[in-house]
Amino acid sequence: MKGLRVAIDGPAGAGKSTIARRVAEALGLLYVDTGAMYRGITWVALQKGIDPADAAALANLARAVHVELRPEKDGVRVWIDGQDITPFLRDPGVSRAVPAVSGVPAVRMRMMELQKDLARRGGVVMDGRDIGTAIMPDAEVKVFLTASLEERAKRRVKELRGYGHRIDPDQVGRELAERDRADAAREFSPLVKAPDARVIDTTGRDVESVVEEVLTLCRTRLLKGEE
Ligand code: CDP
């Protein structure tokens, strides 16, 4: 399994990061959370008072910052310019601004470059929106994870409450739907299912059974490769 590349894409709140991390752990592969990279740069932009609509300022920022993903026991941590900013990645303000920031071509090009470098080494499980189409189009295993909007909103409400945020469930649902719309509508590497991705609808399913399904795909793919 050492060189295996697994691409996991899908809409907001479909459970990509939970599944991707578990699959990576089970197979001893590196887990790369590309959403965390876009969230990280968005948080820095907001800290610096950059307007998420200011593409030129965001492009300059993307060129100037040093983004690093550090895998640790409790998950991947994001360091930007020597600061661990992981605790801020799920802030509602970051979630609202991230589609605008990630839609700026220069920001994407910079992040995609870093992601392609990580992918080139092989032995990765990477999750995001354009992994099976743009970052690892030749990945051995491609999965497109979905779930009903209602279920995705329910999971996100639970997650945000766990972080201590006060939230309105209806607003969470509206914001997830709006983020999907923006991610799918952008011109440059949008959220789209790769033609050869396996669609897994996780509505009403537990994490364990989805992880098992992805692991089975990985094993089947490896057996085929050895024929
Ligand atoms: O966890 P959740 O599904 O809410 O989102 P995420 O994976 O953390 O991604 C946050 C945002 O980053 C997305 O809504 C996209 O705007 C952007 N993103 C992207 O454009 N391309 C990726 N490969 C990953 C994330």
Radius of gyration of the chain (CA): 17
**Does ligand 1 have an atom closer than 6 angstroms to the CB of 39?**
yes
CB atoms inside a 10 Å sphere around CB 83: 12
Evaluate if residue 219 carries a pLDDT over 80: yes
Number of domains present in the structure of the chain: 1
- pLDDT, tens only, 173-187: 999 999 999 999 999
Q: pLDDT grade, residue 223 (50/70/90)?
A: confident
- pLDDT, tens only, 85-139: 999 999 989 999 999 999 999 999 999 999 999 999 899 999 999 999 999 999 9
Candidate of 124, 183, 187, 193 to mutate for ligand 1, largest count of ligand atoms within 8 Å of Cβ: 183
Q: Is residue 151 part of a domain?
A: yes
Q: Is residue 226 part of a domain?
A: no
Evaluate if residue 1 carries a pLDDT over 80: no
Closest CA to 135 of 13, 35, 1: 35
206 CA → ligand 1 middle, Å:
22
Q: Is residue 91 part of a domain?
A: yes
**Does ligand 1 have an atom closer than 6 angstroms to the CB of 144?**
no
**Does ligand 1 have an atom closer than 6 angstroms to the CB of 94?**
no
Candidate of 17, 18, 38, 125 to mutate for ligand 1, largest count of ligand atoms within 8 Å of Cβ: 38
Q: What pTM was computed for the model?
A: 0.93
Whole-number percent of the chain with pLDDT over 70: 99
- The C-alpha angle with vertex 131 and arms to 94 and 73, in degrees rounded to 5, equals 65
Q: Is residue 19 part of a domain?
A: yes
- pLDDT, tens only, 66-90: 999 888 877 789 999 999 999 999 9
Q: What is the pLDDT of residue 160?
A: 86
Q: Is residue 94 part of a domain?
A: yes
Closest CA to 149 of 111, 119, 178: 178
Q: What is the pLDDT of residue 166?
A: 82
Q: Is residue 224 part of a domain?
A: no
Q: Is residue 198 part of a domain?
A: yes
Q: Is residue 184 part of a domain?
A: yes
Print the domain residue range for 184: 3-217
Give the C-alpha separation, 8 to 202, whole Å: 13
35 CA → ligand 1 middle, Å:
4
Q: What is the pLDDT of residue 6?
A: 98
| CATH number for the domain harbouring residue 12 | 3.40.50.300
Contact 65, 118 (CB under 8 A): no
**Does ligand 1 have an atom closer than 6 angstroms to the CB of 130?**
yes
Q: pLDDT grade, residue 2 (50/70/90)?
A: confident
Q: pLDDT grade, residue 226 (50/70/90)?
A: low
